[in-house]
Amino acid sequence: MLCLGIEGTAEKLGAGVVSSEGRILANVVKHHTPKEGIHPREAAQHHAENLPRVIKKALEEAGRSLDEIGLVAFSQGPGLGPCLRTAAIAARTISLSKDIPIVGVNHCIAHLEIGRLATEAEDPVMLYVSGGNTQVIAFEGGRYRVFGETLDIALGNCLDQFARKIGLGFPGGPAVERLAVKGEFLSLPYAVKGMDMSFSGLLTASVKAAENHRVEDVCRGLQETAFAMCVEVAERAMAHTGKEEILLAGGVAVNRRLQEMAGQMAAERGAGFFVPEKSLLGDNGAMIAWLGIMMHRAGVRHSIEDTTVRQRFRTDEVEVLWR
Ligand code: ATP
Ligand code: FE2
């Protein structure tokens, strides 16, 4: 069976086609990149305009027609309301017009499951760092649970806001990474509270530091501090759960320095370290399709009434029947 997965939680729109054996036949992503940050309704407008084309392209890439799709999956949440609703409407339309089952999936869990499919990781602690999310998630007691998360803004959002405020443009992560390589470490406020992280104080301090320090040094200090916070929480989650694998996910995970730090932590613990390829790290439709397949195979059936979007969809609300 083939599943069409539709992703549209934030500014990225994705459509992917995955087979029940886990073969990724297509994974098309279209970015909405406004200069002045994302506006939920404008992003939703972008998705509505581009959905037909993105789905068509994914089907072409897969070399299949819509009639060959046996299941449609979409990101039910968490995310921005208008964006989620747009993707959900597309999925419902396909489900009803083609008379195929529909399943709404949790976006964060989809990141983890595509990581397990694409790497050798079997039961990892996932460090999920993106523009909208920063969470440490692992499977325990029949559910995916959040062991630590940001108390305020996401790590990618911190990098993006910092870059925008000091004139480095958008997205911030790659610009900060390029400069950090040339910088000396600068001490900035480190904030891990219990198992949670806070990035807003670090953001304010970094913007202020950029007024009277070399920007390269601030970038280096910002990266070292923020990444060390994430790696510390991930390591403690591994110690607590006894898991011996770490999996990176989210757009920030393409960062070489973060990979190096997480990899080093894993090596010191004798644990496995896994990073999926770039196209599967950021938001994409293939991960939605794959989780859809696993849920459907485990017997999950959603009626159209069950497909209402869930902006604050918590990871641990999902009963994991497929593991
Ligand atoms: P989500 O909906 O999961 O929150 P997203 O919409 O933020 O995802 P992603 O592609 O997962 O999309 O992540 C984008 C983020 O990744 C941006 O904040 C961007 O600055 C950051 N990023 C991209 N490349 C790098 C890099 N090399 N180093 C650090 N951060 C990066
Ligand atoms: Fe994501």
Whether residues 239 and 288 fall in one domain: no
Q: Are 170 and 164 in contact, with CB atoms under 8 Å apart?
A: yes
**31 forms bridges with which residues in the sheet?**
12
The answer, yes or no, to whether any atom of ligand 1 lies below 6 A from the CB of 172, is yes
Q: What is the CATH number of the domain that holds 98?
A: 3.30.420.40
Which pLDDT tens digit goes with each residue over 211-245? 999 999 999 999 999 999 999 999 999 999 999 99
Whether residues 128 and 259 fall in one domain: yes
> What is the rounded CA–CA span in Å between residue 33 and residue 171?
9
116 within domain boundaries = no
Q: Is the pTM of this model over 0.95?
A: yes
Cα atoms in the 13 Å half-sphere on the side-chain side of 142: 3
pLDDT of residue 166: 97
Whether residues 106 and 125 fall in one domain: no
Residue 37 clears pLDDT 80, i.e. is over it: no
Residue 154 clears pLDDT 80, i.e. is over it: yes
The answer, yes or no, to whether any atom of ligand 1 lies below 6 A from the CB of 156, is yes
Whether residues 265 and 290 fall in one domain: no
Alpha-carbon torsion (193, 232, 224, 278), positive or negative: negative
Residue 38 clears pLDDT 90, i.e. is over it: no
Residue 26 clears pLDDT 70, i.e. is over it: yes
Whether residues 30 and 96 fall in one domain: yes
- Quick one: pLDDT band at residue 35, thresholds 50, 70, 90? low
- Quick one: pLDDT band at residue 140, thresholds 50, 70, 90? very high
Which pLDDT tens digit goes with each residue over 93-126? 999 999 999 999 999 999 999 999 999 999 999 9
Whether residues 78 and 156 fall in one domain: no
262 within domain boundaries = yes
Whether residues 263 and 309 fall in one domain: no
Whether residues 17 and 133 fall in one domain: no
322 within domain boundaries = no
Structural domain range at position 183: 121-275
Residue of the CA atom closest to atom 5 of ligand 1:
131
Mean pLDDT of the chain: 97
The answer, yes or no, to whether any atom of ligand 1 lies below 6 A from the CB of 32, is no
102 within domain boundaries = yes
Classify residue 160 as exposed, middle or buried by CB count within 10 Å of its CB (0-12, 13-18, 19+). Answer: buried
144 within domain boundaries = yes
Q: How many domains does the chain have?
A: 2
